[in-house]
Amino acid sequence: MYSLKTVRSFSVTMLILFFFIPSGNLRSVDAAAKEAAVPVVGGKAKDFQLATPKGEKVSLSEQLKKGPVVLLVLRGYPEYQCPVCTRQVGQFIANTAKFKKAKASVVMVYPGAAKDLEKRADEFIRDQSLPENFYFLVDPDYKFTNAYHLRWNAKRETAYPSTFVIDKDGKIKYAKISKTHGGRANAKEVLQALGE
């Protein structure tokens, strides 16, 4: 049998926990670890190798030998072609000369389920003429997206739209991860990060 003093002490402790630790701020250890692994400014970018829809392999490490890399993570095909992604890619292509001047490669990643991903990627990029320093890569079954902890695992979602500027040494100089469809990096911000 518990004494009245023990019961009161337990009740007071539970009240303190209930009122002073907001439940919205409690996170699992896994969630905290995942958040910590998201690429951040000053961190080292993980190397990766992906392919274009036509099968040409492109790796981050090879691109970094040429100069800095602008990494654009798009939404891929969340059951439709994202109009915000289309605008963002168009804006970056419109600034091709400035990216060339900065000796930067622009690497765009189009994530999604492997089935029909190349076909959907072709549909997305079909009306764009990619400059020589731009690379459009597919991420079948989210291997890259998961490795970078950018998977937006919800209905009709794929990846958090994200932009990184990675210096030749592999260090991240600029990072912007949007938890919505908008709020993305624009070419001007990225060019400033590149020193242009």
**Longest pairwise C-alpha distance within the chain:** 79
CA distance 112 to 79: 10
Can you read off the two tokens belonging to residue 123? 């549909």
pTM of the model: 0.80
Domains identified in the chain, total number: 1
b/e sequence 100-138, b meaning 16+ C-beta within 10 Å: eebebbbbbbbbbeeeebbebbeebbeeeeeeebbbbbb
Residue 82 included in any domain: yes
Summarize pLDDT for 1-51 with one digit per residue, the tens. 555 454 455 444 444 444 444 444 444 434 444 445 788 998 999 999 999
% helix / strand / coil in the chain, to the nearest 5? Answer: 35, 20, 40
pLDDT score, position 150: 96
- Residue 165, domain member (yes or no): yes
Paired residues of 59 in beta bridges: 49
Residue 85 counted as domain residue: yes
Q: Residue 182's domain spans which residues?
A: 39-193
**Residue 177 domain-assigned (yes or no):** yes
Kindly report, residue by residue over 69-84, the tens digit of the pLDDT. Answer: 999 999 998 888 999 9
Q: Report the chain's mean pLDDT, rounded to a whole number.
A: 85
